[in-house]
Structure 1
């Protein structure tokens, strides 16, 4: 290989805390450290890795953000199993910046539509009698909340959450919960439009009926129409 074809970029040296975090993570992956294991005291970690206290603390904080350790005041850190919630939570800071622009909101609306459609198709094909009964209960609660803005918003979220629970997949559930949190401003804004609550309930009813009939195409169409209407209410309210 001709050396002139190699990008002229310096190799980035790891900071001390990154090296400490990397080594501790390797021990977790190899099984030398397992969920529930307590890490050695700070002083012992300092001696082991030959670094200062600040490097140890930054390394542990980094591992905590990754969902690999738990740190509590007055207690030694201990190893934990990373969760889907921790994985999605890491994105929240970046998401807030993306949602600060109309283009970012539209990107997330599209992402939500694709996510919800995949969930509703799965539900239509795989929902058990228990799943359908749970969804019907959530729909009834949504109906009972008509006219009460706070209760309707809460039951709106719970209806979609009942859908997200049907695959019994913690990653889908974590993504759905995060998406609902990220787009809560959209939900609140769109529901302020005249007639939006009744339109949302009617859409939920059509979605439920399609799932109960195990008709994936009808379920997808109902969800597509529902989210398109939510977006329309949202942008009309923003313009107003």
Structure 2
């Protein structure tokens, strides 16, 4: 059997601070004690405190501003997803399977998501979705605006689910894909097809057809995934 490994000192500090945050000793919005105060309270040196604090910041649990004490952040789904965004974009750029895996996740997530959005749609949310569709039509010919409107359409559907965790993951995924998306609208016919596909999705949602909306979303993502693969292949990627 392997001997029990002794924890690094900063990990013990991290555990203490996380316990204090989770038990509301330091609730969201409050400031943590200064480094000097924490050194006295926990009985460790400055390096261990700083490393633990940096880890908390990377985890999205605190915000460190120059000249101020660290402040505890409410760990919302949006904050958590934002913390991993840079790493995800890097993975897509360097991992040969990264884009393929993300495309598969997107297909599963968005086809299920649009079913929920259809069932929970309200007059107000449908009006907002229709507005993003107008933005998409108006943006044809303007690559940057078109991509923004495209992402906005999918983001609104995510919000219509009423599930903040799903919405945060979906929006994060769209952000990760956006670096590849900009190339797709340069493909001949891509803008027209994208608008038509979005219109079919919208009509199904507005008509209360959850299965039809899911099928339309699957067709849309499937077509987009083929373009991702062609572009990646032309660039020498997977």
Q: TM-score when scaled to structure 2?
A: 0.91
1:83 aligns with 2:79: no
Map residues 167-182 of structure 1 onto 2, 5 A cutoff.
Answer: 167-182=161-176
The offset of 1:228, in angstroms, is 0.7
The offset of 1:93, in angstroms, is 5.0
CA distance in 2, matches of 1:94, 1:71: 20
Secondary structure of the residue aligned to 1:218 is helix
Unaligned segments of structure 1, at least 5 residues: 1-7
What residue in structure 2 maps to residue 59 of structure 1?
52
What residue in structure 1 maps to residue 209 of structure 2?
215
1:141 aligns with 2:135: yes
What residue in structure 1 maps to residue 10 of structure 2?
17
The offset of 1:39, in angstroms, is 1.7
The offset of 1:110, in angstroms, is 0.6
Could you say what the CA RMSD is over the residues aligned between the two structures, in angstroms? 1.6
CA distance in 2, matches of 1:40, 1:185: 40
Unaligned segments of structure 2, at least 5 residues: none
Among residues 24, 32, 47, which one is paired with 2:40 in the alignment?
Answer: 47
The offset of 1:232, in angstroms, is 1.5
1:120 aligns with 2:114: yes
Q: TM-score when scaled to structure 1?
A: 0.91
Farther off after superposition, 99-108 or 209-218: 99-108
CA distance in 2, matches of 1:139, 1:205: 7
Change beyond 3 A, Cα 1:197–1:94 = same
Secondary structure of the residue aligned to 2:97 is helix
What residue in structure 1 maps to residue 194 of structure 2?
200
Change beyond 3 A, Cα 1:98–1:75 = closer
Farther off after superposition, 98-107 or 64-73: 98-107
What residue in structure 2 maps to residue 74 of structure 1?
67
